[in-house]
Structure 1
Amino acid sequence: MTYATVMVSLALDQPNDARLQVAGEIAERFEAAIVGVAAAQFLPPLYFTDGAAAQGVIDQGRASVERRLTKLEAQFRAAVRNRGGHVEWRSAMDFPARFVLAQARCADIIVSGGQSPAFSDAFSLASPRDLVLQAGRPLLVVPDKVDWLDLRSVLVAWKDTPEARRAVADALPMLRKARDVAVVEIPEGDDDRSAAMARVTDVTAWLARHGVTATARVCEATGNQSAADQLGIVAGDVGAGLIVAGAYGHSRFSELILGGVTEYLVTQSARCVLLSH
């Protein structure tokens, strides 16, 4: 398995340098095609009028969005010039998440920016919250403070679920290029540590058969820290530049609700995260 097509989701009026840099690196490492995608919708003002004046406002707003998408395309092409193979740009006047999710069919992996917990704009930004549970492809979340894909140390956050199994399989191309890989399980409640160690040992043995040398580790159970906090501590201990994890959540009336660890992973700003659902 390899990554033959890398898709990078860009946002209007937001920093895109980090995700462009990392997407270009992946395309270069795997000699992959790279596809840039962006979309935005014009949001009419609250003091909206009618008639010819209304149409003028709409036309001006749409023209502004189109100019910004054109500028974003130029930024994308400049950033990925001479990196990877085939380069392609796709954009539309559409809700960003809906457009990116539709285009995901042509990609092996999607690169997205991170997002602060307080910020969300469905008219100009396809946030990782929007993408992670619906894309059907692994999502690499790149915080704005990260300027390269550091594979010197990779942390696999193991949980014996279909999502975690899918994430490890999706991450295999990167894991093969990593220098150190740690498979870590964080016990929950009264979990049996010996059973947890057996699980992560199975995973490291499976990885070995795929050419990846990894170590197995089970964290000490603690009642005063959340799983997200413990994961952050372990990632710091091993110097992880990348975390691989399953993405957990559900839909409630059309609203996507992420679990606590997944929410932490898409909003933390220290390291890249590969998530699969």
Structure 2
Amino acid sequence: MTYATVMVSLALDQSNEARLQVAGELAERFEAGIIGVAAARFAPPLYFTDGADAQGLIEEGEASVTRRLAGLEAQFRAAMKNRGGHAEWRSALDFPARFIMAQARCADIVVSGGQSPAFSDAFALASPKDLVMQAGRPLLVVPDRANWLDLRSALVAWKDTPEARRAVADALPLLRKARDVTIAGILERDDDRPVVMAGVTDVAAWLARHGITATARVSESTRNETTAAQLDKVAAEVGAGLIVAGAYGHSRFRELIMGGVTQHLVAQSARLVLLSH
């Protein structure tokens, strides 16, 4: 298994430098083609008008969005100019999540930025939570502070669920290139430690059959420590540049399980995160 096509989602009103850098490195590492995608819709003002004034306002707004999308294309092509592989651009006047989820059919992995809890505009950017839940492809979330594809140490956040199993399988190409891999079982309330340890040991053995040497461990939880805090602690201990995890929850409007770990991973600003649902 490899990544033959990398897709990178660009957004209006957000920094795109980090995701372009990581997506370009990812495409180079796997000698893959890369597709840049972006979409946006004109958002009418709260106090709208009608008639000819309304039509003029809509046309002016759509023209502005079109110019900004053209600016994103120029940024994408400049970033990929010296990468050597095939680069393609796709954009539309559409809701970003809807457009990008449709385009994801031709990619092996989608690269996106993280999401600030304070900013969400469905007209201008695709929420990584929406993408991972509905695109049907693994999502590599790149925080704005990242400046390279750091595969020195990779951490698999293990929970015995279909989502986590899918995430590890989707991450195999990256895990093969990582220098160190850790499989960490995160203890939650009422978890049986020997059972969790047996699970991470099985995953490590499965990875070994794919040529990947991994260390199995179970986190040591403390009272009142959240699952996200446990995961952060383990990631810091192993110096993880990449976290691999299953994405849990059914939509952005329903509370996510695992103590908000999925929400935490798309909003944290330190490490790359590969998520699968």
Identify the residue that residue 233 of structure 1 maps to in structure 2.
233
Distance 1:256 1:73, change over 3 A: farther
Measured against aligned partners, the alpha-carbon deviations of 1:154-200 in whole angstroms (never above 9, x if no partner) come to: 00000001100000000000000000000000111232212211111
Structure 1, gaps ≥5 residues long: none
TM-fit CA distance, 1:28: 0.3
Q: Are 2:130 and 2:251, in contact at CA under 8 Å, matched by a contact in 1?
A: no
Identify the residue that residue 258 of structure 1 maps to in structure 2.
256
User: In structure 1, how many angstroms separate the alpha carbons of the residues matched to 2:273 and 2:108?
Assistant: 16
Q: Are 1:184 and 1:218, in contact at CA under 8 Å, matched by a contact in 2?
A: yes
Q: Are 1:142 and 1:271, in contact at CA under 8 Å, matched by a contact in 2?
A: yes
- 3-state SS in 2 of match to 1:181: strand
Distance 1:22 1:256, change over 3 A: farther
Identify the residue that residue 175 of structure 2 maps to in structure 1.
175
User: In structure 2, how many angstroms separate the alpha carbons of the residues matched to 1:45 and 1:190?
Assistant: 51
Matched residue count: 275
Structure 2, gaps ≥5 residues long: none
Measured against aligned partners, the alpha-carbon deviations of 1:108-139 in whole angstroms (never above 9, x if no partner) come to: 00000001112100000002122111111000
User: In structure 2, how many angstroms separate the alpha carbons of the residues matched to 1:145 and 1:81?
Assistant: 22
User: In structure 2, how many angstroms separate the alpha carbons of the residues matched to 1:251 and 1:12?
Assistant: 23
Identify the residue that residue 40 of structure 1 maps to in structure 2.
40
User: In structure 1, how many angstroms separate the alpha carbons of the residues matched to 2:251 and 2:276?
Assistant: 16
TM-fit CA distance, 1:25: 0.3
Letter in 1 for 2:77: R
User: In structure 2, how many angstroms separate the alpha carbons of the residues matched to 1:73 and 1:258?
Assistant: 34
- 3-state SS in 1 of match to 2:229: helix
| TM-score (normalizing by structure 2) | 0.97
User: In structure 2, how many angstroms separate the alpha carbons of the residues matched to 1:84 and 1:115?
Assistant: 30
User: In structure 2, how many angstroms separate the alpha carbons of the residues matched to 1:105 and 1:131?
Assistant: 12
TM-fit CA distance, 1:13: 2.1
User: In structure 2, how many angstroms separate the alpha carbons of the residues matched to 1:116 and 1:221?
Assistant: 28
Give the aligned CA root-mean-square deviation in angstroms.
1.1
- 3-state SS in 2 of match to 1:250: coil
Letter in 2 for 1:89: W
Which has the higher mean CA deviation after the structures are superposed, 194-203 or 264-273?
194-203
- 3-state SS in 1 of match to 2:122: coil
- 3-state SS in 1 of match to 2:24: helix
Identify the residue that residue 223 of structure 2 maps to in structure 1.
223
User: In structure 1, how many angstroms separate the alpha carbons of the residues matched to 2:175 and 2:132?
Assistant: 20
Q: Are 1:35 and 1:88, in contact at CA under 8 Å, matched by a contact in 2?
A: yes
TM-fit CA distance, 1:3: 0.2
- 3-state SS in 1 of match to 2:250: strand
User: In structure 1, how many angstroms separate the alpha carbons of the residues matched to 2:3 and 2:46?
Assistant: 44
Report whether the alignment pairs 1:18 with 2:5.
no
| TM-score (normalizing by structure 1) | 0.97
TM-fit CA distance, 1:146: 0.5
Q: Are 1:129 and 1:256, in contact at CA under 8 Å, matched by a contact in 2?
A: no
Letter in 1 for 2:176: R
TM-fit CA distance, 1:251: 3.6
Identify the residue that residue 50 of structure 1 maps to in structure 2.
50
Q: Are 2:133 and 2:251, in contact at CA under 8 Å, matched by a contact in 1?
A: no
Identify the residue that residue 80 of structure 2 maps to in structure 1.
80
User: In structure 2, how many angstroms separate the alpha carbons of the residues matched to 1:57 and 1:191?
Assistant: 58
Report whether the alignment pairs 1:247 with 2:247.
yes
TM-fit CA distance, 1:223: 2.5
Identify the residue that residue 193 of structure 2 maps to in structure 1.
193
- 3-state SS in 1 of match to 2:228: helix
Identify the residue that residue 109 of structure 1 maps to in structure 2.
109
